[in-house]
Chains A and B, each alone.
Chain A
């Protein structure tokens, strides 16, 4: 009987919080987290920790406070979080407010009052549990204690630090210094440092040659990877063979031939021999994907089919940038995908380039990101990694089903 009431009470609490969240959403619209901007996020986080401690200590006197962190509260808050996350997964996230889903804020889930309140309740039950775990740490499984603590730190710091994340885009032009960026809402933002694009470099994968059906405008599934001279493959009934391959070439005027030329706009070109595997017919000619200056070149196999080369895929691309900080200090950094540069608490990420010009791009787009809470989150994430390893190593030990005790 106790067991059932425990569940009912805990789930009723969640339902009540859901209703409160829905009412707040309908009355006030989306949740605005700007009040958490530094230093208020930090001040509130410290007060929140103190409140959690107070709740835990006072829990001995007040039963309802104790119920905030019992097993039923954990199960009900976890279930609520799970249900909301599933709704999150099924709902397309866009700014629309149409229909019930939109009105409840589910299409902008992270700004929905319901999500924020249920998340906060989940965090609070976890927080009070952490206080209890720390108090009775001698009796706890190491993996359980650690996982409660580190998940709490990660979630709490991501919540209280959510308003301190800043992401702005900078479109850099070659040799032109800029310190103006655009926020994702399109507003201008002045950076505390200036950036100059000194060089843009790009490496590409070898060209792929497909057989193009010009009637249906579709290309073959198979392709020939023009990795080296002599490479061959059968594509749609044609045996294709690379006779010659030039990385930077230009087609000579009034000629079918490509010559090696190192110049802006130069194109990759491959001389292909194609043999029809059924009729033994042969074709030979140059194929190129073209560039922003030169037209692509095709090898026509008959009136309908042609060998074509799509633009080569980027292997890696980097921007060599010169950074000048507020003190006037200057230095150079290479920014590449997966290898951001750091300027104080900012990180600079390679995002894009002029895809029309490809490797000849004279502009590069970078994103500058500032997240004052990242050091805390990073430590928490690494601690979670360690905890997961501890959990794996200690799994398989004690049996941990329901305890055989009074009322259970």
Chain B
């Protein structure tokens, strides 16, 4: 399996996801709809597994490789939310988001090497990155949902149930952000001798974590949806800064050990 095969797998997976999204929009039965979407995810996962085998290391090192997982988890998050809350639009959203990230990978092909530097050779590597990618996918889903609730043409006030979906997605996403951060801390102690060194990646991970934590606390006392939605979007921007923004941030140049 090589990066060149991505197009075939991506097209096949996207077709399944699109069919699932259309079925959901038209109110077709839940199980067949989710199954079609799940087949798309399985096809996409097959590509990831193929890359894993051919690279002889987990495809979690480069930005492009993490984007693969992001697209995959977004599709899973969409299916999970659809199964749990039966939102007809969620599969369209998750498909759109997955396709955006696949397109970035297609437009910016990377040269992949089998090398994995000694610092990354740890049992923590795979869970740490996968858990983070899942958290990012959940936060991506809640950001889209918040944007929809905030800017929908009907200007309807979000219902308690709709806000409940936001809360639950944030709670799940925050739980996974926490898992990723703590796994990173335990790993850092093992690899670098300290569990927290305020490396730029760590600083922005902390800011993201605090941002969503603030949402969870603010939700208990604030009824102002504008503030809550703005915070969700702001927190997602911090997440982007943590994920790839620091690669371009002047204050982080040459000082981060999170460069692969």
| Contacts from A to B (Cβ < 8 Å) | 3, 71-72, 74-75, 78-79, 81-82, 85-86, 88-93, 109-110, 147, 158, 165, 167, 205, 208, 221-223, 225, 313-317, 336-340, 347, 349, 367, 369, 371, 374, 377-378, 381-382, 384-385, 387-389, 391-392, 395-396, 399-403, 408
Contact = CB atoms under 8 A, between A and B. Distances in A.
B221 A71 contact: yes
A223 B11 CA distance: 28
Nearest to B195: A377
Nearest to A208: B113
B63 interface: no
B250 A92 contact: yes
B211 A82 contact: yes
A188 to B, nearest CB: 20
B223 A336 contact: no
A396 B219 CA distance: 15
B185 interface: yes
A384 B198 contact: no
Given A389-B179, A399-B164, A369 B111 contact: no
A80 to B, nearest CB: 10
B175 A92 contact: no
B84 A396 contact: yes
A85 B210 contact: yes
B193 A349 contact: yes
21 contacts: A82-B210, A85-B203, A88-B203, A89-B246, A93-B255, A223-B111, A338-B122, A338-B190, A338-B191, A339-B190, A369-B193, A369-B194, A385-B183, A388-B176, A392-B172, A392-B175, A395-B172, A395-B175, A400-B167, A402-B219, A402-B222
Given A93-B255, A167-B193, A78 B121 contact: no
Contacts, number: 154
B153 interface: no
Contacts of A208: 113
Contact of B179 (A377, A385, A399): A385
B118 A400 contact: no
Contacts of B249: 89-90
Given A385-B183, A388-B175, A400 B219 contact: yes
B241 A385 contact: no
Given A85-B210, A389-B179, A337 B196 contact: no
Contacts of A391: 171, 174-175, 178
Report, nearest first, the 10 A-B pairs whose CB atoms are least far apart: A337-B118, A369-B193, A92-B251, A395-B171, A391-B175, A392-B175, A388-B178, A85-B207, A82-B210, A388-B175
Given A167-B193, A338-B119, A400-B167, A381 B175 contact: no
Given A78-B210, A81-B210, A388 B179 contact: yes
A298 to B, nearest CB: 21
Nearest to B196: A158
B230 interface: no
B149 to A, nearest CB: 14
Given A313-B115, A349-B192, A401-B164, A71 B220 contact: yes
Interface centre among A72, A385, A395, A408 (most CB of B within 10 A): A395
Contacts of A86: 207, 238
A391 B182 CA distance: 14
Nearest to A348: B193
Contact of B206 (A85, A91, A316): A85
B221 to A, nearest CB: 5
A1 to B, nearest CB: 14
A337 B250 CA distance: 29
Contacts of B219: 400-402
Contact of B176 (A339, A340, A392, A401): A392
Contacts of B221: 3, 71-72, 75, 402, 408
B190 A340 contact: yes
A340 B207 CA distance: 30
Contacts of A74: 217
Given A75-B217, A381-B182, A401-B167, A88 B198 contact: yes
A403 B222 CA distance: 10
A353 B21 CA distance: 55
A371 B203 CA distance: 21
Contact of B194 (A167, A314, A403): A167
Contacts of A81: 210
B118 A75 contact: no
A279 to B, nearest CB: 26
A110 to B, nearest CB: 6
A340 B190 CA distance: 7
B171 to A, nearest CB: 4
Nearest to A381: B182
B100 interface: no
